[in-house]
């Protein structure tokens, strides 16, 4: 979850307070520091103070922390309202964007002779992010199974192939597997939608836009 990621980043920021780094990280940290100074205001937690440029690892990890915060908030907004004022480029769009600055810190530590430090908590965190990705927010996307049945019944009825609700379990599974293997879109723009059906479909459409 996101809170676990935040706590681990904070621990890494405390641990990686050294100044020695490779040129790649130094240049990137200076660039991020200049960009943060130009920002007129911070829209995240106010006690997150600006990190001095002579602590390049903390600058980089602070950037990761801030972008992770925006990713979480944007995902929440999209799920609850379908819209967010947070620009898309303020958030991570995929796990590769999340990993890149962490991998930069790892390379720099190794290049600077701090391999033992690199292979400690930072490597553990890299492995965790690689495994679990951007599962940042514990989103309650569960809905009553009966509502999912209503949606599938509306689809099969509209397609003229019968009532999903009345099918035996074996027929349901056979049809669902067939649709999953197929390449054509399941839903057409002319599908009649009750308020309940529209709500379920809207939830899945929003989930499809969230970071993977």
Which pLDDT score, from 0 to 100, does residue 4 have?
78
Nearest to 212 by CA among 77, 89, 95: 95
Where do we find the tokens 């669902």?
A: 176
Share of the chain above pLDDT 90, in %: 36
Those residues with Cβ within 8 angstroms of residue 208's Cβ, 6 or more apart along the chain or in another chain: none
Rounded Cα–Cα distance for residues 68 and 75 (Å): 11
Question: Strand, coil or helix: what is 17?
Answer: coil
Rounded Cα–Cα distance for residues 28 and 59 (Å): 9
- Which of 8-17, 30-39, 68-77 is predicted least confidently? 30-39
Is it the case that residue 206 has pLDDT exceeding 80?
no
Which pLDDT score, from 0 to 100, does residue 59 have?
94
As given in the structure block, the two tokens for residue 166 are 């009345």
Is it the case that residue 137 has pLDDT exceeding 50?
no
pTM for the structure as a whole? 0.63
Rounded Cα–Cα distance for residues 30 and 37 (Å): 11
Rounded Cα–Cα distance for residues 53 and 61 (Å): 12
Taking CA atoms, 173 is separated from 12, 166, 169, 179, in Å, by: 47, 13, 6, 10
Other C-beta atoms closer than 10 Å to the C-beta of 11 total: 13
Q: Which domains does the chain have, with CATH numbers?
A: 2-132 (1.20.1440.90), 145-209 (no CATH)
| HSE-up of residue 202 (Cα within 13 Å, Cβ side) | 13
Which pLDDT score, from 0 to 100, does residue 211 have?
59
Rounded Cα–Cα distance for residues 130 and 162 (Å): 43
Which pLDDT score, from 0 to 100, does residue 24 have?
96
Question: Strand, coil or helix: what is 143?
Answer: coil
Rounded Cα–Cα distance for residues 61 and 56 (Å): 9
Q: What is the pLDDT of residues 174-198, one digit of tens each?
A: 898 888 888 777 777 778 888 888 8
Which pLDDT score, from 0 to 100, does residue 124 have?
92
Rounded Cα–Cα distance for residues 95 and 91 (Å): 11
- Across residues 65-83, what is the average pLDDT? 83
Q: What is the pLDDT of residues 49-73, one digit of tens each?
A: 678 778 999 999 999 999 998 888 8
Mean pLDDT of the chain: 82
């Amino acid at each position: 979850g996101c809170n676990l990621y935040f706590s681990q980043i904070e621990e890494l920021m405390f641990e990686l307070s050294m100044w020695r780094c490779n040129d790649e990280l130094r240049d990137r940290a200076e660039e991020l520091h200049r960009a943060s100074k130009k920002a007129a205001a911070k829209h995240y937690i106010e006690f997150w103070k600006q990190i001095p440029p002579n602590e390049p690892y903390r600058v980089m990890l602070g950037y990761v922390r801030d972008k992770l915060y925006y990713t979480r908030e944007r995902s929440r907004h999209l799920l609850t309202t379908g819209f967010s004022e947070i620009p898309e480029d303020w958030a991570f769009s995929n796990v590769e964007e999340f990993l890149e600055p962490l991998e930069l810190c790892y390379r720099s530590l190794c290049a600077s002779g701090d391999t033992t430090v690199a292979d400690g908590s930072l490597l553990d965190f890299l492995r965790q992010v690689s495994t679990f990705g951007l599962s940042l927010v514990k989103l309650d996307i569960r809905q009553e199974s009966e509502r999912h049945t209503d949606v599938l019944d509306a689809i099969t009825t509209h397609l003229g192939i019968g009532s999903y609700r009345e099918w035996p379990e074996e027929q349901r599974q056979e049809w669902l597997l067939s649709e999953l293997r197929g390449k054509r879109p399941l839903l057409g723009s002319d599908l009649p939608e009750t308020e309940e059906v529209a709500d379920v479909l809207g939830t899945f459409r929003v989930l499809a836009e969230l970071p993977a």
